[in-house]
Structure formats: structure tokens, C-alpha cells
Chain A
Amino acid sequence: MDKFTVLTAIAAPLPEENIDTDKIIPARFLKTTKRSGLGVHAFDGMRYRPDGTENPDFVLNREPYRKAEILITYDNLGCGSSREHAPWALLDFGIRCVIAPSFADIFNNNCFKNGILPIALPREVCTELMDDARQGANSRLTVDLARQVIIRPDGREVPFDVDPLRRQLLLEGLDDIGQTLQHEKAITTFEQRRAQAQPWIPHIVLD
């Protein structure tokens, strides 16, 4: 997982509530074998017209937001199905940070697991940040995770909260696996003890 320290990037405003994971990635794309490559299908139903062409009105189809790395929405982002494909699709599109008044629980977890920082802020603040985002290419937001602030284009700062353990994992670029592997010595010791206590446990080896 990539580290998340300071992100200065274009933010895309998507002023909607209850954007569910079916909207983020429709079910028909789940029979895939990849975590990557889902970016082209992110927001499929909003992003493309029935004939498959791009919907020019959708924010992520417009410049400069095609290169957005921050997404700002209204309440309850990521509700519905628990599919991990939703953060996979966002990440593959290039989104590293999502800002909303609230997030669905599982989606929130799945974001952290995949290196995306979800920031919950009051609705009025989200509205202000959306206004910033509408100023175009020169109007970037900076998210500084170590200091826990968003720096607006005019230099004003917006502080935010984040779970300390998860903050640490993101700063160090550790996923759950990376975190567990910090205990690798304990795992190895456990394996040695187990091999002595239960030497009969078979290894699966095919002839």
C-alpha cells in the first residue's frame, strides 16, 4: 500500500447524498479477477451514457477533474453492498482521499484497508470545499495527514479527526498485512513452538 502523507491535488465536487457502492461499481463488474483495472468502470452508470459514450455533464469526465485525486460528496458515501470493489475502483481511477459529512461503516473500513483516506467534515465545510474545488485547475487542496489539516487554496486550514491507529498505518503505508508482518518474529516463534509441540501436523505436498 502507498504511504499517505501530504497530498496536493485536484478535488472533484460530487454534491450528492447516499452514493452507494452499486453506483461506485455496478455488480456486473464483480466477476473480474483483478483489483486493478476497475477505474474505467467507476461510477459507470453516471459516467457513461447507455450507448457507452461519456456523459459530458459528469464531473469526472470534465477537465481538470479527470485527474482528480480527492472526491467531495454529501452524506453517507459508500452505503449498500460491502463489496471491496468500490474502493478498488476509486483507487484505480486515482482517488486517494474522500471527503464527506459521513461514510457507510464498511466502506469507511475498506477505504483505510486500501490506502484511501476518508475525512468526515460538517456539511457546510464540505460545501465550502466544493466551492474551492469548482475554481478549477489552479485551485488545489492539500491534505496533510500528519498535521491533520486540509489547506484550502487561499491558505486557510481546516482541521480534521482520524483514528490514531489508522492514521499511523496510512502514514507508514502499512496495510493490515504490513502491520501484522511487523509481528513476524512472533509468528515465526509461534511456528517453531508449534512444530515442536505438534510435530505430527502434516505438510501438504503433492506428488
Chain B
Amino acid sequence: MRAVANYFRDIVAAIYTITLGLGVTMKCLFSKPVTLQYPDERPEVPDGYRGIHTYEIEKCIACNLCVQICPITCITLAYEGKGKNAVIHQYDIDYTKCLFCHLCCEVCPTDCVHMGKEFDLASYTRAECVIPFAKAAAVQKQE
């Protein structure tokens, strides 16, 4: 007798739960999608996001601290002179290696390197993932 009762209870439960499930999916069908049309729409990046660095070349005193603290030595720094008179030729960060640990920004005495909000690094070659910040700054200055 118990088995028969269970059998019918199972059938009723199946119908009931399927209706519940159908209700959930129907509600989702008419709610706004949570995904974005990525290249056209960009997500809003929150403050404190650790994206690609921003670098202020005129503040940098070429102290080499960021190069030393970087756990995977992905910063390449080349300069002439010392302190405020330093001329920086090269400040490259290799983003195939960088783990966005923020240590370089913390250690910088003049606060000239920050974590930015840019995250799009797609490229065809590995060389393109190395961003030459000093060169970019020079180009910007010329313009």
C-alpha cells in the first residue's frame, strides 16, 4: 500500500516541480539579460580594480624600487642620470608575466605608477603584450 501511495506521490511531485521550474525559466525569459555585448558595451570597472598600469613618467625618479620588488621581474627600466634629473628611456611591463599584485605601486616613493582600469590585452603576438610606457609617454609629449 505504501509503495502505491509513494508512486502516486512521486507523480504529483514530478508535475508540481516541473511547473515550478517552468515558472522560473519563464520569468527569466522576460527579465533583462545580465551579460553585455562586450566590444560594443563595456562593463563598469569599479574603483580599486587592478588593470593595466598607468605610469606618470615626469614624476618617476628612476629609483629602481619597482623593478626590485616585482616578484617576477616583469618591469624593464633603462635610464640615464639619477633622482629628479633622470631621463627614462625605457619602462616596459611584460603583461604575459605580470600578476597584477600591486607591489610596484605600493613601493613607489613618488606614487607615479598606479593600477589602471584597462583590461583588454588581446593581441596576436606575445611581443604586443609588452607595453612600453616610456615610449608611449614620449610619443604623447611630441603630440
Say whether A and B bind each other: no
Q: Which residues of B contact A (CB under 8 A)?
A: none
